[in-house]
Structure 1
């Protein structure tokens, strides 16, 4: 009960959450976004979305009191040398003071207002949200693109993809967010720890699905949401499957949890492990402990290779090379964290592609970004006379170019 109260008491009431997120947004719009548009040589960025079919990046640009596009919403960003002008073409007053309302419905429609802004400022480049590589940067609908092409026909040769601005906007965290993100990651870890305990799991009775249901209800009751549908599976002595699901949890099982929360607009993603003690046992068998230590060694290898400026592919190959040299049978598939669980940005391997990843893997790791350090190793367990996988995942962050764990690192099994 004490641990429960500890993490539940840290969850802010709704009004405080909104105030926090709005402070972060105001800071991001006025500090981060101008730097990103300058970095990627974008003069103007236009983002448009219609009600119930919003461009996915719009949610990251809205203050908390704006929950949707309401017919049509157009945001326009214009970098005038060092100063960023931010316009909204929508009558909702809640967009202020984040954006200047530039549209008067009594004078013209939104598209005519947009054309006037573009004509007046005559930018050299106009970034639009289309991309064949990054899903979050591909949110401009076909009809909106057609409308923009017709409306801005004399400017259409200036159209460029906004994907590089969007990737950085979604993946880079400001200093204010980096202060809070570790607490969010630790909150997710503490929920996972409670789920992998006798408070929830009763060997011989509780199923893996029961644990999933408990986690989802716990997160919902706390006024949050999971960042993806959690999974709970088992490694079991004698099993031909390495991830048993829908099973009753038994003595001697390894319980593997893959889980994350979304809180204050930021997602977490972690994988944690527990061992179910046989009656009379006080710790996991030596073979299982040795396998976990091998996994932690590979984790150290990965963190040692994750450097700002290296591409995801470079990190992947360097880490896997060292694993082979140490005879560690490993797979590596880490991804950025941010507004989305699988955030845009440099990826380090994929579960089903253990090699170079075109484009996404060629991106460099950047400062002030966060990652789900995700991987597995396989090792022979003498007590089980079989090879089993050890799946782990930890949220980490580049803070002042130094990679740090955002939550308490798991270095031993939770014991049930």
Structure 2
């Protein structure tokens, strides 16, 4: 049905709108964009001041070159500073003595880069060979990493471009900067720790809202619906996802039943979320666990609650065992011994036993930070190279474990309870950056609401 509106009303409506315009708040996106840029600029300056000299000298590299091409960013571009490149540019860091490293952005320009104040030299007018020759480095680190993807940003053609442009003797001085890149990213200044903690708190808030009746109506809502709800929240806030589509899954007596699918959530389900939020060039990695109450239930099934409590106890033992000043491998051995001493049964991933003990997979306390799976020292089996790295204060770790406990209500089948939250390594050990998972979330059954929605 359409209604004709008199012309005079249109004029008056326009006048009212004009009078109201000053009262309408200006969208905050511009202010938020600047706030994030300023915070990342602070992180970059402090990292160049404090971390860069330390890691370059420890790794025996006196010049570090990162190459960028138009349309082909190095994974470290957000760390080093976004700028315009055409056709090729370089971030070059040179140890020329003293207490700081010279920072140059050659062929990379723009307000966001130059305005951050992180670089001594920002220019498009340069001769790369003359620049390097003047500094005469003994070892030139390039982003070539056999074991760490984020340290392997130099392309095949980029390498040959450097070799041909610089020639000898510089080509013979090229070395892998893999360990340097890992150390540079994994050692954190205070402003980075604060930024990552903020990302962690956002992750926690959204995960716990997702596993609640705000989002779910048992009998109506699917796993996929919950995942898309989270994706919409990220879009609203200008955030990224650590691992793409969030993993919303249900675990039963036979193991994982469904992940982010059309499976409808029902009373009695044990639900998990595994996901992370990307914010301020940081990506978190965390899990939460929930039980869907059956009609008439006010508490979780006793066996499920006990399994969750056992997982919490195993996590407490595991976290207390972590120490700085030793390698990730040595930390892994310490954690395993501590779990055995506390009565748990350490096992390889997803190989639970039939015994009465709670089995624990603990070999997944991995590095976290700029990626959901970071590139620093990692107490995890999937990257043996990073097991050899020393754990130092300011490293960020995702404390991740899986505990398998028998559920009497399931005929003795074991429930796998995953726990994962992010922590910072200090001189005292590993400390949480936001409230870690401490309770089994409960989702109420509401048949009346379910019928109304359907």
TM-score, normalised relative to structure 1: 0.89
Q: Secondary structure at the match of 2:437?
A: coil
CA distance in 2, matches of 1:242, 1:256: 10
For the pair shown, the structure with the greater C-alpha radius of gyration is 2
Aligned pair count reads 391
Q: Partner residue of 2:208?
A: 193
* 8 Å Cα contact 1:242-1:388 kept in structure 2: no
- The CA deviation at 1:134 is 1.1
Question: What value does the CA root-mean-square deviation take over the aligned residues?
Answer: 2.0
**CA offsets, 1:36-90, max 9 Å, x none?**
2122221111111212222212221015xx2x54421111111111231111111
Asked if 1 retains the 8 angstrom alpha-carbon contact of 2:267 and 2:294, the reply is: yes
Task: Give the alignment of 1:236-247 within 5 angstroms.
Answer: 236=252, 239-245=253-259, 246=261, 247=263
Q: Secondary structure at the match of 1:71?
A: strand
Residue matched to 1:120: 134
- 1:346 counterpart = 2:362: no
Task: Provide the residue aligned with 1:88 in structure 2.
Answer: 105
- The corresponding residue for 1:393 is 420
* Counterpart selection for 2:35 from 13, 16, 29: 16
User: 1:137-159: CA deviations, max 9, x gaps?
Assistant: 11111111112222232122222
The answer to whether residue 260 in structure 2 is matched with residue 235 in structure 1 is no
Q: What is the rounded CA distance, in whole Å, between the counterparts of 1:381 and 1:299 in structure 2?
A: 19
Q: Distance in 1 between matches of 2:427 and 2:324?
A: 10
Once residues 91 and 415 of structure 1 are traced to their aligned partners in structure 2, the CA distance between those partners, rounded to angstroms, is 52
SS at match of 1:383: helix
Secondary structure in structure 1 of the residue aligned to 2:360: strand
Relative distance call for 1:254 and 1:91 in structure 2 (3 A) is closer
Q: CA deviation at 1:278?
A: 1.2
Q: CA deviation at 1:121?
A: 1.3
Are the structure 2 counterparts of residues 401 and 164 from structure 1 closer, same or farther at C-alpha, using a change threshold of 3 Å? farther
Q: Does the 8 Å contact 2:310/2:403 carry over to 1?
A: yes
The reply on whether 1:409 has 2:440 as its aligned counterpart is no
Whether 1:313 aligns to 2:329 is yes
User: Is contact 1:91–1:101 with CA below 8 Å preserved after alignment?
Assistant: no
- The yes-or-no answer on 1:212 pairing with 2:239 is no
Q: Say which of 389, 395, 417 aligns to 1:363.
A: 389
Partner residue of 1:180? 195
- SS of 1:149's partner is helix
| 1:128 positional shift | 0.9
1:270 lines up with 2:300 in the alignment: no
Question: What are the ranges of 5 or more consecutive residues in structure 1 without an aligned counterpart?
Answer: 1-8
Residues 382 and 12 (structure 1), Cα distance of their counterparts in 2 relative to 1, 3 Å cut: farther
Q: What does the per-residue CA deviation read over 1:246-301, in whole Å, with 9 as the maximum and x for residues that have no partner?
A: 21111011110001101111111100001111122111122111111111111112
- Residue of structure 2 equivalent to 1:335: 366
- 2:114 corresponds to 1:99: no
Is this contact kept in 1: 2:90–2:108, CA < 8 A?
no
How far apart in 1 are the matches of 2:130 and 2:420? Answer: 50
SS at match of 1:88: strand
Q: Secondary structure at the match of 1:143?
A: helix
Displacement of 1:103 in angstroms is 4.6
Q: 1:104 and 1:62, CA in 2 relative to 1: closer, same or farther beyond 3 A?
A: closer
SS of equivalent to 1:124: coil
**Cα distance in 1 for residues equivalent to 2:237 and 2:103:** 35
* CA gap 1:283/1:48 in 2 versus in 1, 3 angstroms: same
In 2, Cα distance between equivalents of 1:184 and 1:59 = 16
Q: TM-score, normalised by structure 2?
A: 0.82
2:50 paired with 1:31: yes
Could you tell me how far apart the structure 2 residues matched to 1:303 and 1:160 are?
Answer: 36
- Kept after mapping to 2: 8 A contact 1:88/1:102: yes
Deviations 1:182-210 (CA, angstroms, capped at 9, x unpaired): 23211210111100100101101111111
Residue 316 (structure 2) pairs with residue 285 (structure 1): no
**Contact kept? 2:109, 2:124, Cα under 8 Å:** no
Q: Using the alignment, how far apart are the partners of 1:261 and 1:93 within structure 2?
A: 28
Per-residue CA deviation, residues 302-359 of structure 1 (Å, 9 max, x unaligned), is 2122111222222222222333441331112121111111110122224xx6xxx532
Is the Cα contact below 8 Å between 2:59 and 2:179 reproduced in 1?
Answer: yes
1:375 — aligned with what? Answer: 401
Following the alignment from structure 2 to structure 1, what is the Cα–Cα distance between the partners of residues 170 and 369? 33
**Kept in 2: contact 1:178–1:399 (CA 8 A):** no
Task: Report if the CA contact (8 A) 2:367-2:379 is conserved.
Answer: no
Take 1:349 and 1:128, find their aligned partners in 2: how far apart are those partners? 26
